A and B are shown apart, each in its own frame.
Chain A
Amino acid sequence: MSDLPHLTAGIDAGASSVKVVLARSDRGEGATLLGSVVQRIRRRSLEEVVRSAFEAACGEASVAPSALCYVASTGDSDAVPFRTGHFYGMTAHARGACFLDPECRAVVDVGALHARAIKMDARGKVLGHRMTSQCASGSGQFVENIARYLGVTLEDVGALSVSALAPEQVSGICAVLAETDVINMVSRGIGAADILRGIHASIAERLARLLRAAGAEGVVQLTGGPAADAGLVLALREACVAGIRGRGLDLTVRSHPQGILAGAIGAALLGARRFADLIDKGRFDVLGRDALIGTNGGGLA
């Protein structure tokens, strides 16, 4: 089983979508992504979406589940009953971001319900982090809600925001207040582009504070669903230049087209590393062959 390469899967069971990646690597290094799938949860059960996305990813990669040496979950572990092991979202995003951009030393992971800034080393080992508290105003769901009010599709949000000429200022503290701001703006006839840019600026300011608190340095990757949102990327760059209380942050903000997959990628690569370590230490026998999805299909048809 320790023969190289390691075929592993990473499943990021998030609050609004499930991301699955299949990877081939040598202990998590030198990886090639064989397949990836993103499925929105909508009104389905999370476990159902996980199974559907996993099967789709295996199909796309032409890899049988039985060929995988480790299936790693991140996000909601309970939604992945056939997992071999689980990695915390922060750890997985840090590793995934390092894969997508080896120069990055920090991540801003914007999930549906929260955002967190993570500082890490070149291996993806987390050195520090900060997370938003209860308020959802730094989250992807917040952007979705605003887009829905404005009648704008999520795909158009970034381009519209970038085209804004006179961004409106909205509350950066509270999502509820910000939504009220937006309703007022709509009634005042403010254009969708300016409103969205204001929303992005508000979120970006919070993210910049998190980055500073986490001690981020150098290159920062934006990961999670909004990673592809050009408006948020631009706003975060501007927020870093503007800095906190007039002191700019010396950070280079980047995004990657596969930024939404960072958690799943990281989980897959960490799974390969963990599997190899367990084999080296002779501990996979303790864990048992049943943990391998290949031995019993993990309950999958």
Chain B
Amino acid sequence: MSAESLVAEARSQVDDVDLGPVHAWKRANPGGLAVGTMPIYVPRPLIEAVGALPVAIFGGGDQVDIIRGDSYFQSYICHIPRSTLELALGGRLDCLDAMIFPSICDVIRNLGGMWRLLFPEKLSVYLDLPQTFDLAVGGRFFAHELHRIASLLEAAGARPLNDEALVAAIRVENVRRAALERVDALRRAEPWRAPASEVYLLARLGGLLPAAEHTRWLEDYLTAAQGRAARPVDNVRVVLVGAFCEQPPLGLLRTLEKAGCDIIEDDLQLGLRTIEGPIDLREGEDPVFSLARSWIERGGATASRYIGDDEKGRALVERVRTLGADGVVFAAASFCDPALLDQPMQEAALARAKIPYTTLKFAENTGQFQVVREQAGAFSDAVKLWGIA
């Protein structure tokens, strides 16, 4: 299968707001639970280990008109909770047997509360991600949280959690992560073979599939992309930063690419990449604690993770330098507090390091990209020609 065909198929599945891939999984796995997970991070192996399918929910994107969802959130709230409720109230998320709301911001917390009121018959779980990065404290707490979630899923009909199944699921997850890293490596080295807009779709597809199946997709794409006839283009190499929970429309990524930006790294599908490297399994350790330890020790410096102010932006500067990027494009979702509160500190760190950057805002249903085209084109040219933004 060609890279183009794989990407087209991935897009059709990602754009399917009726969650066709989830229905297909449930038909193939009678009695299996489908567990919706809101961004940014929920440990997927834990859910797979109890025989359930973790389903990453990213709202309705630009696929749905918001009618009922708007009545639940004020106008100064981001878009993803509205479209998620719109999908749910329209019955499009009925195939989900449970929802997990991680503690990434107040809006998602409120969405979790509304969910409980609106869908009392469905299991709804709030997952506290620890903000104390001490294994003895935050690690213990997070492991306890994960055990609690496994128990709740079991009560809802999932298999009981056991060490063997979780170790196996973590190993499968690590294989997927390695495959994703190989795709990312190709994008960094030869972005003309694996443009970000394609890699994004392939990565996002993983939110709808078991890890093993997603790995096959990634491997197929990698083979096809490496072999495709593609020519390098003199673009600027940028890192796209948005602390992404709400996803930008694909058109925004395509606009950045058409404006001359090779997006060599992004935090779009943060949940799949927020743990840096493989999940570290240790002999004799409770694998649930291994999951917790990975988050504590290897969690990326995201906006949903409390890090001292003086450290904000340091990881970004290091990443830009390591990757040999020319600059950074900030693209935060409108009214996304975590992203927009972090951004000034990250900008300051970039300015100190003399790294060019530009800032955009979007909503998941943004349909006009003229302003983005103007800004990204001007940024790309300024970096290319004058070395500044």
Contact = CB atoms under 8 A, between A and B. Distances in A.
Contacts of B232: 287-288, 290-291
A235 B384 CA distance: 37
Given A88-B377, A88-B381, A278 B258 contact: no
A290 to B, nearest CB: 5
Contacts of B385: 91, 125, 270, 273-274
How large, as a class, is the contact surface on chain A?
A: 20 to 34
A253 interface: no
A59 B258 CA distance: 29
Given A77-B258, A274-B384, A82 B374 contact: no
A131 B374 CA distance: 9
A298 interface: yes
29 contacts: A77-B258, A83-B233, A85-B233, A85-B234, A85-B235, A86-B233, A86-B235, A86-B260, A86-B380, A87-B260, A87-B384, A88-B259, A88-B260, A88-B374, A88-B378, A90-B378, A91-B385, A125-B386, A126-B382, A129-B374, A131-B370, A131-B374, A274-B385, A278-B234, A287-B232, A290-B231, A291-B232, A291-B233, A298-B231
Nearest to A131: B374
Given A89-B377, A270-B385, A288-B232, 6 more contacts: A86-B380, A87-B381, A88-B378, A90-B377, A126-B378, A290-B231
Interface string B245-271: 000000000000011100000000000
Given A86-B260, A274-B384, A291 B234 contact: yes
Contacts of B380: 86, 88
Q: Which 8 pairs across A and B sit closest by C-beta, in order of nearness?
A: A88-B377, A85-B234, A91-B381, A291-B232, A288-B232, A86-B260, A88-B381, A290-B231
A291 B235 CA distance: 11
Contacts of A290: 231-232
Contacts of B378: 88, 90-91, 126, 129
Interface of B: 231-235, 258-260, 370, 374, 377-378, 380-382, 384-386
A70 B234 CA distance: 10
Most buried by A among B258, B378, B381: B381
B258 A291 contact: no
Nearest to B380: A88
A70 B384 CA distance: 14
Contacts of B384: 85, 87, 274
A84 interface: yes
A103 interface: no
Query: Taking chain B's interface residues, is the majority helix, strand, or loop, or is none over half, making it mixed?
Result: helix
A156 interface: no
Contacts of A77: 258, 260
B381 A84 contact: no
A260 B17 CA distance: 46
A7 to B, nearest CB: 16
A87 B233 CA distance: 12
B43 to A, nearest CB: 38
Nearest to A284: B234
Nearest to B254: A78
Contacts of A86: 233-235, 258-260, 380
A77 B384 CA distance: 16
Question: Which of B259, B374, B378, B385 neighbours the largest number of chain A CB atoms within 10 Å of its CB?
Answer: B385
Nearest to B384: A274
B11 to A, nearest CB: 17
Nearest to A275: B234
| B370, B374, B377: most-surrounded residue (chain A CB, <10 A) | B377
A139 to B, nearest CB: 14
A66 B6 CA distance: 34
Most chain A CB neighbours (cut-off 10 Å) among B231, B232, B258, B259: B231
Contacts of A78: 258
Contacts of A70: 234
A283 to B, nearest CB: 9
Nearest to B189: A286
A134 B378 CA distance: 20
A84 B377 contact: no
A288 B193 CA distance: 13
B238 to A, nearest CB: 14
Contacts of A291: 231-234
B261 to A, nearest CB: 10
Nearest to B388: A125
A125 B384 CA distance: 12
Nearest to B387: A277
B179 to A, nearest CB: 25
Interface string A184-207: 000000000000000000000000
Interface centre among A81, A84, A88 (most CB of B within 10 A): A88
Nearest to A28: B385
A82 B230 CA distance: 10
Contacts of A85: 233-235, 260, 384
Given A77-B258, A85-B260, A274 B231 contact: no
